[in-house]
Amino acid sequence: MAQQYYFPTRDEHLDEWVENFITQLATVASGLGIENQEVTDATTLKDNFKQAMNDIVTKDAEKRQAVGRKNNNKKILAAFIRPLIQRIKNHPDYSPTEHGTILRIIGPEEVIDLSSLKPVLKAGLDADRPKIIWQKGPVDGIIIWVDRNDGRGFKFLTIDTKPDYVDTFPVPEDKDSVVWKYKGRYIIDDKEVGHESEVVSITVTKTGED
């Protein structure tokens, strides 16, 4: 049966293996034609490897500590700078074009590619009613269509301007449960923009209140 290569490839395994090898080598070297200097050289190389391994552990710990200090100092810096900037902006002599420019305390204008906007809808339940979950972002609202699985396809449902939307339409009396589908598209200034969302569906079960 074939044997695996004896020399470990993983550092942690090699660390253990080489420690044992050097220790045992010293006890059998003379009987196997290994010179004392060779044992010494092997021991030195083993120690160098182990020291490098220890350095990695130390450096990793130091790096984590340094990152922690950096993040903490960043928070302290922001907590001090932000109120200072607000005071500057509230000062009667503050000029956005002059002071705001040289201090770089005016954020860049946000450029929105309206053609690429596409809402991401999620469907859930709110007291057994379908809840259409959506993120508003830089738009005025969303137009939502619904397919009641009645053969008529998607029909206009609502224009929602504040997430999220709960659909209170009752389940038909002749059904215990139904699967309804929803899709939406963002609106800005009462105009549809971007792309329609992917269709989401949800099973709605009749309750005693329906």
Q: What is the CATH number of the domain that holds 129?
A: 2.60.40.10
Give how many domains the chain has, as a whole number.
2
At 178 the pLDDT is 95
Residues (pLDDT < 70) of the chain are: 1-3, 208-210
For the record, the structure tokens of 93 come out as 């002599």
Q: Which of 210, 157, 209 has the alpha carbon at shortest distance from 183?
A: 157
The answer as to whether 112 is a domain residue is no
At 57 the pLDDT is 86
d(Cα 69, Cα 111) in Å, to the nearest integer? 35
Looking at the structure, do residues 188 and 166 belong to the same domain, yes or no? yes
Looking at the structure, do residues 12 and 96 belong to the same domain, yes or no? yes
For residue 200, the 8-state DSSP code is E
At 179 the pLDDT is 96
Looking at the structure, do residues 5 and 96 belong to the same domain, yes or no? yes
The structure's pTM equals: 0.51
Looking at the structure, do residues 59 and 132 belong to the same domain, yes or no? no
Looking at the structure, do residues 102 and 69 belong to the same domain, yes or no? yes
Looking at the structure, do residues 137 and 64 belong to the same domain, yes or no? no
At 12 the pLDDT is 84
Instruction: Report CA-CA distances (Å) from 70 to 63, 66, 77.
Output: 10, 6, 10
Domain around 77? 1-107
Return the number of other C-beta atoms located less than 10 Å from residue 109's C-beta. 6
Looking at the structure, do residues 75 and 127 belong to the same domain, yes or no? no
Angle at 34 between CA 33 and CA 40, to 5 degrees: 165
At 150 the pLDDT is 92
The answer as to whether 210 is a domain residue is no
At 140 the pLDDT is 94
Q: Which of 54, 78, 107 is the last residue of a domain?
A: 107
